[in-house]
Amino acid sequence: MNRYLDIAPEVKAALDAGKPVVALESTIISHGMPYPKNVQTALLVEQTIRENGAVPATIAVIGGRLKAGLSADEIEYLGKAGRKVAKASRRDLPALVARGADGATTVTTTMMIAHMAGIRIFATGGIGGVHRGAETTMDISADLEELAQTPVMVVCAGAKSILDLGLTLEYLETKGVPVIGYGTEELPAFYTRKSGFGVDYRVDSPEELAAMFRAQRGMNYKGGMLVTNPIPAEYAMDKAVIDAAIEQALREAAEQGVHGKETTPFLLARVVELTGGESLESNIQLVLNNARLAAKTAALLAD
């Protein structure tokens, strides 16, 4: 057992009994949405996972402890603190633990802590990737490296559409990460169902997903699996509207000198403003959709 890790009693009991558990990130709580919408959404996602047969394990760093499973009070605490809580990627964990600090986990650190705890499936909104202009800035999310080395299935709505999706797929291919389309042969683009880029394989049921992941783990692959699950059609945004908002947000980020790990929170918040809040509702619905699929797949893996 990792001496810096605390597994919530409910999560530990489920893992010990071989019951399904789904990990959830906490950056979406502290950096992804305003309070109290962030807390309400986090609790709703947990409820959705329970309704679909699994135990939720929201992951964070609190007081220097790596937490696999949070209480409602801890989720409330992260939601109220907002961006005062550090956005914790791989490089940040040693400092946060040593200093007894708090951290909201990204896709990268949620995967890491989930793996430490023995959790095999993680549901999120969208992964990070290769940022536009990365050929000069070298701005590439640590999420892609983590997918290449940590054996966790990540269920998402594709890479965030603020990114260079083509280069993101190329990077994942180089790292040997299988990109699976759930009910689609085309990579979803977070707010929209299609991107124009193909996935590696299409599957049409949680049973197929569970079988594929079971085979991957049975061959002792080093890395994980990326499952891309399109946003429900009724909540998808008009591509022209979202693209225009993203382009304006990118221009403003460049003008204001926003870079590094502050880029994604800035862009997503600005897109919410530019779309009159429509993108926030889409974000919530796609996370719930991913939670349902992850829970159903986790239940099959547990069987």
Cβ(97)–Cβ(61) under 8 Å? Answer: yes
For 262-279, letters b (16+ CB in 10 Å) and e give ebbbbbbbbbbebbeebb
User: Is-catalytic flag, 25?
Assistant: yes
Interatomic CA distance for residues 119 and 160, integer angstroms: 24
Which two structure tokens, joined as six digits, stand for 53? Answer: 């047969």
103 forms bridges with which residues in the sheet? 61, 86
* SS3 category, 256: helix
Interatomic CA distance for residues 159 and 147, integer angstroms: 13
CA distances from 231 to 3, 160, 284, 286 (A): 38, 12, 10, 5
- Check 12, 25, 74, 296 and give the catalytic one: 25
Interatomic CA distance for residues 200 and 178, integer angstroms: 6
User: Is-catalytic flag, 252?
Assistant: no
- Check 12, 67, 87, 160 and give the catalytic one: 160
Q: Which residues are catalytic?
A: 25, 160
